[in-house]
Structure 1
Amino acid sequence: MPKIDHLECSRCHHTEDADSPKTLCPVCAGTFYVRYDLSRLKGTDPQSQIAPVDSMWRYAAVLPDAEPVTLQEGWTPMLRSRRYSNLWLKEEGANPTGTFKARGLSLAVTMARHYGLKKLAVPSAGNAGGALAAYAAAAGMEAHIFMPQDVPMANQVECLAYGAKMTLIDGLISDCAKIVAERKEREGWFDVSTLKEPYRVEGKKTMGYELVEQLHWTYPDAVFYPTGGGVGLIGMWKAFQEMEELGWVSGKRPKMIAVQAAGCEPMTRAYTEGKDASEMFQNAHTLASGLRVPKPYGDYLILQAVRESGGTVISQTDDQIFRSIQDWGRNEGILLSPEGAAATAAYDRLIENGFLSPNDRVVIFNTGSGNKYTDVIATMQRGHTNAEFRA
């Protein structure tokens, strides 16, 4: 495992050492990226550097040198569509705690334990809270979780089952973030909020390594990613840069397609209006709770990756999301999360309007198991007539 060379601000490029826990850049409050000395790996056969484990820690050669706190997260299936020969679904519901959040929180908790931290706090739209609760329990640490009161019931149950201290808030994830920010110094919490510490991105970047390895070290033409906070998309873009530096992949990077819900679309608006950052989305509402992030902290990084890749940002309504859940359940045997269904619905639209061709090789991320959303999907079902539901 490589030693961390330094931390680099993703905005102003200020550097810091990694000898102690860091949050945001002290110069501009940008997100820190972890940088390594990867010179010894350049030009090597990537397969020769893979550790013999079926988890994200197979990429230990490009992850921090620390003893992992792991529940065997990562190395999730790449499922080829039964209907579309050039479409794969990256099934992140196979992770511990049932979502891709396991990757980022495994790395964040690993480094928190490495630094000797004892109490961690996070605002969450649901799934990150459950993941932090699980990994904190595995590490023997305290987890303090703040979530909107209408998150899926599974998220609430798992936080309590793992022994976390959970607080439900009448508001959005942005309101939860304010509480953590106001109380963390007084309570002695370390804030592991999205992009406010460097290591959740490192866990999420393993999705980029995985999809390239599972496609035999080649890029797809496009990647669809449900985007609330957007750390997965940001992490994959970092992974692509690292793999190219190492010579582990060649060719054109995939178009990055960020998918939002129409009831909370700050990134779609910013992209459409040609802006470099988003504005707070007012009165956010969608049953896809993971997409209910009214202003992503890493908005500038999401927009940069989308534009550099020739991708786009697209929104889907809750009705379109529900219909894609039905479609994939009946025709593919897969129960999508609402967030994943936003991405599959977006794929249909971009094929229809010609942005993509059916011949393009595409990977869609289902960021969580639909089984974590049974109460949400039941609400969607009740909102449709029997005739619509059976059609």
Structure 2
Amino acid sequence: MPQIAFLECSRCHHHLPADTPQTLCPLCAGSLYVRYDMDALRRSAQREDPAARAVASSTSLGMWRYASVLPDVTPVTLGEGWTPMLQSKRYPGLFIKEEGANPTGTFKARGLSLAVTMAKHYGLKHLAVPSAGNAAGALAAYAAAADIAAHIYMPQDVPFANYLEGVVYGADVHMVDGLISDCARLVGEQIKSQREANTPAEETWFDISTLKEPFRVEGKKTMGYELVEQLQWTYPDAVFYPTGGGVGLIGMWKAFEEMEAIGWIAPGSKRPKMYALQASGCAPVARAFDEGKPASEFFQNAATFAAGLRVPKPYGDSIILDIVRASGGKALAVDDETILASILDYAKNEGIFLSPEGAAATAAYDQLLATGELTPTDRVVLFNTGAGLKYTDMTAEAMHLRRPGSLPKSLPVGGIITPQ
């Protein structure tokens, strides 16, 4: 496992040491990337059969199979990563990366596993996060595994599963009448008040928000390593990624850069076109892309049942737009009605219960097939970022579906297994 050489600002390229916890660049407030000694990685990082290495070291066959390109730390792991790559029945070139197979049921497990791992390494005792829902559940789980206190702020109308996760894992849960942007403001105000009150360092919260610390990107980048390995170390033609905060898309682009630098992918290989998919009820990145702007504007009155896409102003919006444009891809938005139709279509015809966020990607894919921009044989990796079962209340409401009949007030003990 490599030592971190330094942290680098994504905007001004200022370098910072990684021996203490860092948030944003102190010069320009840019997000920080973890950088390694690439010459050393070229000499030491081995691509061949990472699964065999994982078995030999008694390490999970999940995302930590890529330990040779992750920080040199002892993992806090629940078995995240190495999710299935499901080939579509109908479209020979389409592969669906099923991130719902992760612990806590979404791709957020990857980023929070790495971020909590580093928090434990640094000796942090309190972690705080504003979340659209799934990051909150993942932080609660990994913080519990690491014996770290988790402080969660999320909109009060998130899927019920997200609220339940926070409570069950023992987190400090705050439900907010507002959006993730309001949650972020409250976290910031709480941390500011702690500092002004000279709260002891061990009791001060550390903000583990999207792109406001460097290690969630490191966890998410493993999706890029995985999809390339699962395609026999080649790039697909395109990657479709549901984009709220966009850390997964940013992480995968970083993975492609690293794989080329250390020789796991031939330098000069054509990288996939990156498609950032949003809901039309909250589409700041898609709007900025259409208007040719370098960054997004705050999306007013954001509303969509794809809760993870309800991010009115992603912190990394300029990075996302740069990646999409550099790759030759696009940022697209589809409406909730089309998202719901895609959930039902892929469930019936593919046997996959998509999250609303994943269905934003499948809906956009189907539209690009219809326009001829894509063909069914183009090799596309599409991310279903979460298990549809985490959204049963939201999806049922969108379908106007109610449980038939009524449940009994109490269930008898007994029946065919034990006598009543």
The alignment's TM-score, normalised by the length of structure 2, stands at: 0.90
Query: Once superposed, which parts of structure 1, at least 4 consecutive aligned residues long, lie more than 3 Å away?
Result: 48-51
Residue number in structure 1 paired with 2:161: 154
Q: Which deviations, in whole Å up to 9, do the C-alpha atoms of 1:252-305 show, x marking residues without a partner?
A: 000000000000000011101111110000000000000000000000110011
Aligned equivalent of 1:228, options 244, 268, 277? 244
Confirm or deny that 1:94 pairs with 2:110: no
Number of residues paired by the alignment? 384
Structure 2: distance between partners of 1:195 and 1:325: 29
Corresponding position: 1:180 with 2:187:
yes
Tell me, yes or no, if the aligned pair for 1:146 and 1:168 is still in contact at 8 Å.
yes
| Cα-to-partner distance string for 1:363-384 (whole Å, 9 max, x where unaligned) | 0000000000000110111189
Q: What is the rounded CA distance, in whole Å, between the counterparts of 2:401 and 2:338 in structure 1?
A: 13
Q: Which residue, out of 103, 114, 118, partners 1:111?
A: 118
CA distance in 2, matches of 1:17, 1:125: 31
Within 5 A, what are the aligned runs for 1:292-331?
Answer: 292-331=310-349
SS in 2 for 1:147: strand
1:209 to 225, 234, 239: 225
The aligned amino acid for 2:278 is: Q
Distance in 1 between the 2:398 and 2:214 partners?
A: 36
Partner AA of 2:317 in structure 1 = D
* Mapped partners of 2:128, 2:323: distance in 1: 28
1:1-391 aligned at under 5 Å gives the runs: 1-42=1-42, 46-48=47-49, 51-52=53-54, 53-187=60-194, 188-250=204-266, 251-382=269-400
Query: Contact conserved, 1:2 with 1:38, CA < 8 A, in 2?
Result: no
SS of structure 2 residue aligned to 1:122: strand
State the distance in 2 between where 1:18 and 1:245 align.
21
Gaps of 5+ in 2: 55-59, 195-203, 403-420
- Aligned counterparts of 1:49 and 1:82: Cα–Cα separation in 2: 29
Q: Percent identity?
A: 67
Partner residue of 2:57? Answer: none
Q: Which one-letter code corresponds to 1:6 in the other structure?
A: F
RMSD: 1.3
Q: Distance in 1 between matches of 2:37 and 2:169?
A: 37
Structure 2 counterpart of 1:332, one-letter code: E
Task: Work out the CA distance in 2 between the residues paired with 1:49 and 1:158.
Answer: 32
SS in 1 for 2:2: coil
| Deviation readout 1:124-159 (Å, 9 max, x if unpaired) | 000000000000000000000000000000000010
CA contact (8 A) 2:242 2:361 kept: yes
Q: Which has the larger radius of gyration?
A: 2
Shift of 1:54: 1.4
Return 135-144 or 374-383, whichever deviates more: 374-383
More off after superposition, 356-365 vs 314-323: 356-365
Amino acid at match of 2:190: R
Following superposition, the deviation at residue 353 of structure 1 comes to: 1.5
Deviation (angstroms), 1:355 = 2.0
CA drift of 1:221 comes to: 0.2
The 1-side partners of 2:222 and 2:46 are apart by 18
Is the contact between residue 230 and residue 296 of structure 1 (CA under 8 Å) also seen in structure 2?
yes
CA contact (8 A) 2:304 2:310 kept: yes
Find the residue that maps to 1:42 and give its secondary structure.
helix
Which stretches in structure 1 are left out of the alignment for 5+ residues?
385-391
